[in-house]
Structure 1
Amino acid sequence: MIEYILGKYTEKTPTHVLVETNGLGYLVQVSLTTYSDLNGLDSGKLLTHYSVSVDVRSGESKHQLYGFSSELERQMFRQLISISGISSSIAMMILSSFKPSEFQTIVVGGDVKTLTTVKGVGPKVAEKVIHELRNKIAKDDISVDEHFNSGNTLRQEALSALTALGFDRASSVKVINNLLKSDAAPQSVEQLIKASLKQL
């Protein structure tokens, strides 16, 4: 098992990071929280979770690395995918929609309504997640850097993340533009994507 990767960040996007170490480049899937924590860093250590899935029809296996800036977020990811019906993509969608501290509050408080704002999470799934994790998650405070560059980069990175998550490009552009024109326009990529997820 790969516990962590220490190396240079040669590429960073809201959905993945390319980490170069010892002449090899590792494509690591990340959440918005981890992407935010890596802002301004050229190198560092990512805690990882190695996943192998097999297509039952073709028999082909898919290998993926998921990276996390904190042990708490990795633990939450592992707890989420241990729940029947919660795929890695849904788990990452949840962790991209809420910071670890926010997700803890939602689960501990039994806030089904807020959890259902995540794409792919309906009332039954939200209730199941809360039921399964309520006694496992302790409320802790997590400090996350939320500062990003603004302007066109803000729009482009948010659009890139939304399309990578499977949302229609045209719809994403419309939502992003409307949000940026609003009086309370998001000031970071993370805020912009979270606001967009609630409208798509």
Structure 2
Amino acid sequence: MIAYLKGDFVQKTPASVYVDVNGVGYEVLISLNTYSKIQELDKGLLHTVLIIREDAHIIFGFFEPSEKEMFQQLISVSGIGASTARMMLSYLKPEELARAIVHSDIKTLEGIKGIGKKSAERLVLELKDKLSKHPVETNISPLKNNSLQQDALNALIALGINRTAAETAIKKTLLSEPNLLVEELIKKSLRIL
């Protein structure tokens, strides 16, 4: 198990970061929450979860241990895979997600792409007690990025959204709210999809 990676952030997008650790480059998949924390950093530490599949070894990275813990809680639920958990953490802050689960807010959970009523109910059933005992608290810093549309598009595609649908959702969102930060643009675009 790789518990964390500490090194230089060589290349960053809203969906992934390449971390150079003593000359070895690791591709680490990240959520928007983590991206918002590292976008201005040249190096740092990411808490990681290694998922081993038949066809790939995938590293998911998190800026804060609380987000990593939430990710691990989410993937422990039957029917919630690593990609869906990352989508959930990109859509809602960890503390918002925990609050929705603890308060049985099925509507908020259903609003996340890929989460239907049954999945939302299963999340509440399996995680409500665990999250009640261990509340999650983090804050997301504001984003500053020149290639707003491209970063949003890359993030949506990395989350499994069709390119054409993602472009359309981004354009619609920017028409109604032109001055959004990339994180908000992605979240609002996800709501349109």
TM-score by length of 2: 0.94
Q: For 1:36 and 1:114, how far apart are their aligned partners in 2?
A: 22
Shift of 1:185: 3.6
The secondary structure found in structure 2 opposite 1:136 is: helix
Is residue 99 of structure 1 aligned with residue 82 of structure 2?
no
1:50 and 1:154, CA in 2 relative to 1: closer, same or farther beyond 3 A?
A: same
Report the CA distance between 1:148 and its aligned residue: 2.1
Partner of 2:60: 66
Please tell me whether the aligned partners of residues 186 and 192 of structure 1 are also in contact (alpha carbons under 8 angstroms). no
Across the two proteins, how many residue pairs are aligned to each other?
A: 191
Q: Which moved more, 1:140-149 or 1:42-51?
A: 140-149
Q: How many Å separate the matches in 2 of 1:81 and 1:105?
A: 17
The equivalent of 1:129 in structure 2 is: 123
Q: Does the CA contact (< 8 Å) of 2:152 and 2:185 recur in 1? A: yes
Q: Which runs of 5+ in 1 are unaligned?
A: 55-60
In the TM superposition, residue 146 of structure 1 has moved relative to its aligned partner by 2.2
For 1:6, what is the secondary structure of its paired residue?
strand
SS of 1:64's equivalent in the other structure is: strand
Take 2:166 and 2:192, find their aligned partners in 1: how far apart are those partners?
A: 9
Is 1:49–2:43 an aligned residue pair? no
Q: Aligned pair 1:145/2:141, yes or no?
A: yes
Q: Secondary structure at the match of 1:95?
A: helix
Pairwise CA RMSD: 1.3
Residues 153 and 170 in structure 2, CA contact (< 8 A), matched pair in contact too: yes
Whether the 8 Å CA contact 2:74–2:85 is kept in 1: the answer is yes
Sequence identity, in percent?
42
Alignment of structure 1 residues 9-24 onto 2, 5 Å: 9-24=9-24
Letter in 2 for 1:193: I
Q: Name the CA distance, whole Å, in 2 between partners of 1:109 and 1:186.
A: 32
Query: 1:140: Cα distance to partner?
Result: 4.0
In the TM superposition, what is the alpha-carbon distance from 1:123 to its structure 2 partner? 0.2
Q: 1:139 to 1:88 in 2, by over 3 A?
A: same
Question: For residue 39 of structure 2, what is the aligned residue in structure 1?
Answer: 39
Q: Measure the CA separation in 1 of the matches of 2:96 and 2:4.
A: 25
Tell me if the contact between 2:66 and 2:137 (Cα under 8 Å) persists in the aligned partners: no
